Amino acid sequence: MSVVPEQPDAPMTRRGHLKLLDGFRLEIGDDGVHLADSAQRLLAYLAIQGPSPRTVVAGTLWGEVSEERALASLRTTVWRINQLVPGLVTGEHRQLALATFISTDVTEFAHRVTDRSTDSGSRSQALPNLRIRELLPGWYEDWVVFERDRLRQLHLHALEAAATAMCTGGEYAAALDAALAAVRGDPLRESARRAVILVHLAEGNLVEAHREYQRFRTLLVGELGVEPSGRLTTLVTERNGDRQRGAPAPTVPVPLFDHLGGGEYNSVVQGQYGPQDPLPPADFGGDLPAPGFRLRGMQTPP
């Protein structure tokens, strides 16, 4: 352990910062403090859970031993921490808490993403702070896993909200960057894919929107055996070029059948179809062609 140059009984005069995203690190002023694993887990638990009863902390961190031994281990760990950084762990009314001179990146991040609605500046300027970061990688205690998932959801919602706001403001490149970061964070998350598709549609890139939809649909069917929601499918299939949503699809003559003796059987393809349909719905203007016609490379039975 590296000792912070403060006397054990002297009041702490420097601010400290506890980092839990992308790994554990405690800094007091400009100095890093190296702690034993038990001390790291105690500080991380108090940073995540807030002030907690001694018995709960001991039972959570030393659950494999008796309550008496767990409380003894807790007392020893608190004493060692406070020898290194005086007053870092406080105890009042049978509760333990981090000192007020310690800030944490977890709390700061949670406040930042929940207070973004009050931000009047450019959304793209804050985008780097929204990159997906993992809480305490390699730690698998239940209280860590639950908080990790909560922060991950905050990350994803913040990225999607930023993408939507920047897209509305015409910052398409930054909006797409944020939306794709959300997709990287959870490739099966439909709201993240929707954010990407909306940026492509806002820019008029219909082909890109269809490609993104197809990538998502292929992944979703392959992984879970389910289709994208009807809402997402409608968003893509109701956009056709520069047509307004809900407008009738253009009707164009398309040669569908070749007669074996030469010439074509012309029909009219009309209406709109989704990427999941093998062929567009067609109006053949009457009965199907008689036997002996060929459907673009496939002969009908005689």
| Res 113: pLDDT | 79
Count, residues in the chain: 302
pLDDT at residue 240, rounded to an integer: 54
Question: Would you state the pLDDT for residue 115?
Answer: 72
Residue 234 has pLDDT above 80, yes or no: yes
Least confident of 39-53, 82-96, 123-137, 164-178: 123-137
More confident residue, 152 or 294: 152
Question: Closest by alpha carbon to 189, among 160, 148, 163, 214?
Answer: 160
pLDDT at 14: 76
User: Has residue 90 got a pLDDT over 50?
Assistant: yes
pLDDT (tens digit per residue) in 138-184: 999 999 999 999 999 998 998 999 999 999 999 999 999 999 999 99
pLDDT average, residue stretch 86-114: 92
Instruction: Tell if the pTM clears 0.75, that is, is over it.
Output: no
Taking CA atoms, 13 is separated from 31, 89, 106, in Å, by: 13, 15, 23
Of all residues in the chain, the percent with pLDDT exceeding 90 is 63
Mean pLDDT, residues 208-233 taken together: 97
User: At a CB cut-off of 8 Å and minimum separation 6, what does 215 contact?
Assistant: none
Q: How confident is the model at residue 116 (pLDDT cuts 50, 70, 90)?
A: low
The pLDDT tens digits of the residues spanning 240-291 come to 544 444 433 333 333 333 334 444 333 333 334 444 444 444 443 444 444 4
